[in-house]
Amino acid sequence: MKEPTPRERAHWAERRWARALRGRRGRPLGLLVLAGLLLLVVFPEVPGIRQVRLASFDAYQSVVPRVPRSAPVVIVAIDEESLRRHGQWPWPRTSLAALVDRVAAAQPVAIGVDILMPEPDRLSPHRLADMIEGMPPELARALRSMPNNDTVLAEALRGRRVVLGVAGLDADEAGPPVALGPPPIRTFGGDPARFLRHFPAALASIEEISLAVAGRGLISVDPERGVVRRLPLLATVADTLMPALGLEMLRVAADAPALAVSVGMDRVRAVAVGDLVVPTERDGRVWLHYSRRDPRRFVSAADVLAGRVDPDRLKDRFVLVGVTAAGLADLHATPLGDRQSSVEIHAQFLEDVVDRSLLWRPALARWIETAALAVAGLLIVFLVPRLRARRAALLVLVLIAAFVVVGATLYLTRSILLDAATPSLALAVLFTVMLAVTLADAETQRRALRRQVERQREAAARLAGELEAARRIQMGTLPRPATAFPGETRFDLYALLEPAREVGGDLYDFFRLDHDRVFFMIGDVSGKGLPGSLFMAISKALYKSTALRRHGQVAAMMREADAEISRDNAEGLFVTMLTAILDAATGDLEYCIAGHEPPYLLPRAGRPLTRLTEGGGPPLCAVDGFPYTAASRRLEPGDTLCLITDGITEATRRDGTRYGRARLEAFLSERGEAASASEIGEAIRRSVAEFAGGAEATDDVALLILKFTGAGPKASGC
């Protein structure tokens, strides 16, 4: 009998796998499908799954919106009627001052102003005197003697429980910085900033008005897929923690000196105002529980100014002042299917807090949903093959109805958001798969693909192991200051190398030439990854060999090393290099820069941050036989040199923003001369890491800090 070929043996193996999956009434296949569905539920950011989950939460509110139990909030709306009576927007600040006076006279618990005034009032009397040509001098002098509109408004705000809105901006170029003042926030358990929404800049009212109020609150909202479902209670604006407008109004109303923020190991847990504790999501947001748009929530600003609003309507309530007129209001879509202005969204939040009806999604909700799906899925896998089609369909409908009923009950009774749509959809998919009877060909192809993926994973694992070994070898070739200069007190050295991949093309080295002279260098190969690491190792070894042979001038070393490295450079790579020799006895420094970042000389008393840019030439292997020249400088005790590669200045956030040379120079300018080399180096490393925010590194990072102390005796030995 003819021996079957390997291809034929593989074919029959695939047929056996397919029969095994179809065997036992499809239960093995059903379990596989169920496992995949569970993974989709466990990882909520899978494309499409999050949209289904959010849609289910929207459905709860759309069908049964919140019914207000009290009326703690009144919105003084600058609506169409107000514009008709008092003129187009923006009004003179004196009109806003009169409006605030009217509202404050009714004794509300707090006033929130959802209006931004970033520029001086163009309708101030002294501005009118300058704007109108041909005005009689007596009238112009009279106008200039009248109070500034901004001052009038500031006086109306001062001493009252008024919170002014601030808008967070995602753009870095947002004009001059605004005065936000110290945040009225106390944190417990850690720094919440790393979890919060971050705005690089802010748009706020002018300083005269902003400093007159009792508090400032963030009015920005973040739509998710175009719908505002959650509101950030806290965010970082530049380097300042900023509470939401409604949250700050609660603090001002309670006369609390500060908000209390509870922070856990991996999340923001809650925000407290006095005895009121508001649990939050991991990033400091809360789920809003919307009610239908209620006209009784609004009063017209025109009626308030005319004195036609009963003071009891505003007394002991939170009053929000904002623009709602068509074409001026900032409208946002809500889960109810309507569009509400920003000021109304903040009113919804205040009502939720006062009525204790904020929606809540527990941290364990995802795992509860996963466990429920696992139990229901096992029932389908083991019972559907035994039941007739009609009864099997009824079983699935009962299980889906159970999910919907439990989710709706928790929403109605506990304001808890439990996702019923995703498990229900998963059960429908599993039921469809279990009813399928012809999956042999599809399962054979799936199995072949699975085996191919496994082979790729094995190959990837082998490659990863080899790269890890290469990384250990590369990092092992780099010297350490503690072992290279034991007992040395005349200078302090710090070195760091962090490859962007497993291995990289940046390099540094340092060693003694004799008792007093120390050679050190830093470089950056044009390539990255494995090719760059190989060229880095060759360049480092050849240059060190040249330096140990020469023991002479840095420029001569550079020229000889350029010739050595260029000799067998078949790939045409090049390397930037900065080399130097320090005489630890005198502080004399001789250096040469071959296309590399010039070193920084950190500031000290009477001297700013400077760069040593003299001497050098193009990168090595770029121009054959280039006559490199050196430069020199005498270091004084306490001088610190900072040598970097461009991986530091080109560190990039996920939004594409780079760390930049200006940010580095500003950071170095703040370092004190009392700091050690390791303290400065670690501070730079942390600054770059915090800026990148976990984004994948795009370039290798090398850093060398040398501080000349000039103190102590010579170290013994070479």
Whole-number Å distance between alpha carbons of 127 and 223: 39
Q: Partners of 242 in the beta sheet? A: 235
Of the options 3.40.640.10, 3.40.50.2300, 3.40.109.10, 3.60.40.10, the CATH number for the domain spanning 479-708? 3.60.40.10
Average pLDDT, the chain: 84
> In this predicted structure, what is the pLDDT of residue 23?
56
pLDDT above 70: residue 8: no
The pair of three-digit structure tokens given for residue 687, joined into one six-digit string: 């600054």
Q: Among the ranges 101-105, 391-395, 433-437, 542-546, which has the highest mean pLDDT value?
A: 101-105
Report pLDDT digits (tens) over 558-610: 888 888 888 877 677 888 889 999 999 999 999 999 888 899 999 887 788 89
> In this predicted structure, what is the pLDDT of residue 444?
53
pLDDT above 70: residue 13: no
Q: Predicted confidence band at 439 (pLDDT cuts at 50, 70, 90)?
A: very low
Residue from 623, 630, 531, 522 nearest 577 by CA: 522
pLDDT above 60: residue 694: yes
Report pLDDT digits (tens) over 15-65: 554 555 555 566 777 888 888 888 888 776 677 788 888 889 999 999 999
Q: How far are the Cα atoms of 131, 133, 150, 399, 427 from residue 127, in angstroms, in the given order?
A: 6, 12, 12, 71, 69
Whole-number Å distance between alpha carbons of 77 and 322: 5
Residue from 36, 37, 112 nearest 72 by CA: 112
Per-domain boundaries in the chain: 6-65+361-437, 73-120+143-354, 439-476, 479-708
pLDDT above 80: residue 12: no
Q: How far are the Cα atoms of 131, 348, 362 from residue 281, in angstroms, in the given order?
A: 51, 18, 8
Q: How far are the Cα atoms of 363, 451, 481, 516, 643 from residue 489, in angstroms, in the given order?
A: 54, 60, 12, 12, 20
pLDDT above 90: residue 526: no
E-strand ranges in 325-460 read 331-333, 339-341
CB 285 within 8 A of CB 235: no
pLDDT above 90: residue 348: yes
Give the mean model confidence (pLDDT) for residues 684-695: 88
> In this predicted structure, what is the pLDDT of residue 347?
94
> In this predicted structure, what is the pLDDT of residue 177?
58
> In this predicted structure, what is the pLDDT of residue 441?
42
pLDDT above 60: residue 10: no
473: which residues sit within 8 A by CB, 6+ positions away? none
Report pLDDT digits (tens) over 138-167: 766 666 667 788 889 999 999 999 999 999
pLDDT above 60: residue 121: yes
* Amino acid, res. 37: L
Percent of the chain with pLDDT over 70: 85
> In this predicted structure, what is the pLDDT of residue 497?
86
Percent of the chain with pLDDT over 90: 36
Q: How far are the Cα atoms of 90, 181, 218, 425 from residue 153, in angstroms, in the given order?
A: 14, 19, 20, 56
Burial (CB count <10 Å: 0-12, 13-18, 19+), residue 295: exposed
CB 707 within 8 A of CB 531: no
Q: Is 300 helix (H, G, I), strand (E, B) or coil?
A: strand
* Amino acid, res. 181: G
pLDDT above 80: residue 200: yes
Q: Partners of 260 in the beta sheet? A: 186, 272
> In this predicted structure, what is the pLDDT of residue 75?
95
CB 27 within 8 A of CB 381: yes
> In this predicted structure, what is the pLDDT of residue 188?
92
548: which residues sit within 8 A by CB, 6+ positions away? 511, 513
> In this predicted structure, what is the pLDDT of residue 438?
40
Report pLDDT digits (tens) over 254-267: 999 999 999 998 89
Q: What is the pTM of this model?
A: 0.58
CB 522 within 8 A of CB 578: yes
Helical H segments across 64-190, by residue range: 80-86, 93-105, 125-131, 137-145, 149-157
> In this predicted structure, what is the pLDDT of residue 715?
46
The pair of three-digit structure tokens given for residue 485, joined into one six-digit string: 């200069």
Q: Predicted confidence band at 383 (pLDDT cuts at 50, 70, 90)?
A: confident
Q: Predicted confidence band at 109 (pLDDT cuts at 50, 70, 90)?
A: very high
pLDDT above 70: residue 296: yes
pLDDT above 70: residue 282: yes
Looking up tokens 């004799």 gives: 514
Q: Is 383 helix (H, G, I), strand (E, B) or coil?
A: helix
Looking up tokens 């939050």 gives: 280
Give the mean model confidence (pLDDT) for residues 513-527: 86
pLDDT above 90: residue 228: yes
> In this predicted structure, what is the pLDDT of residue 469?
63
CB 219 within 8 A of CB 167: yes
